[in-house]
Structure formats: C-alpha cells, structure tokens
Amino acid sequence: MVDRKLIFDAIDNEREYQDRRVKIAYPDRKPDSEQLVHEWASHMSYYYYRVMEDLELNDNAGALENILKIAALAVRTMEIHGIPTRNYDKYPEITAIPVNDECTCDKDNECCHKCFKSDG
C-alpha cells in the first residue's frame, strides 16, 4: 500500500498543477470561485468517464491518473464551497483517531486497540 501522506502530497501537487494549467489554457474562463458545485461535479464526472474508459482498456495507470484529477477537483470544490458536516458518532468503533502510524493489528482486520484512541 502507498503511504497516505504521499497520496495527499500527490493531490496537493495536482491541485497546484490544475491552478497553473487553467490560468494558461483557459485565461477567459470564469473564476473558480464563481463555479457552482454542480459545475465542479460535471468536471469530476468527465474524468470519471475517462477512468471507466481506461479500465475497459485495462489501463490502470491511466485510470489512477484520472482518479488523482478527480481527487484534486473535489478538494478545489471544498476549498470554495466548504467542507460538509458529517456525523461520525453513529459508529464510534469506526471513528477512532489514530494515535500513531505504528499498529500491531493482525492481518485479519482485528484491531489491537493500542494504536487508536476514541475521541468520544
């Protein structure tokens, strides 16, 4: 598995790239801040269909590249329109907060409960 920090770094790099690219490729496009949520969803939908096309061709690398684009677009959407409020208290066993990156959990998805603490 890939370390989550590397994934977030990749999303952040993609966000920066998208900002630079839009300014160069689409200088007359309306500002991001004026785009509504459904417009961002439309952008993400376009790349979702490209993911599906890549998968039909067994092109996992291409699919993952487009998934990265979707993730960065989702981040941009929330930068502009906010982060949704979620109720994480419904399943307290799922909402544990990791204390550290080290875990002694076994490979059968049984948690050792040493690497997590509850926030409630």
> Which domain, by its residues, includes 10?
4-81
The residue count of the chain comes to 120
Q: Is the per-residue pLDDT at 107 higher than 90?
A: no
Instruction: For residue 97, list its beta bridge partners.
Output: 117
pTM metric for this prediction: 0.73
Same domain, 22 and 41: yes
Same domain, 67 and 106: no
Q: Report the percentage of the chain scoring pLDDT > 70.
A: 74
- The tens digit of pLDDT for each residue in 44-95 reads 999 999 999 999 999 999 999 999 999 999 999 999 999 988 776 777 666 5
Q: Is the per-residue pLDDT at 119 higher than 50?
A: no
Same domain, 11 and 40: yes
Runs of H (alpha helix) within 26-115:
37-56, 60-81
Instruction: Please count the structural domains in the chain.
Output: 2
Same domain, 58 and 40: yes
Q: Locate 8 and state its tokens.
A: 């977030």
Contact 111, 98 (CB under 8 A): no
pLDDT averaged over the chain?
84
Same domain, 56 and 72: yes
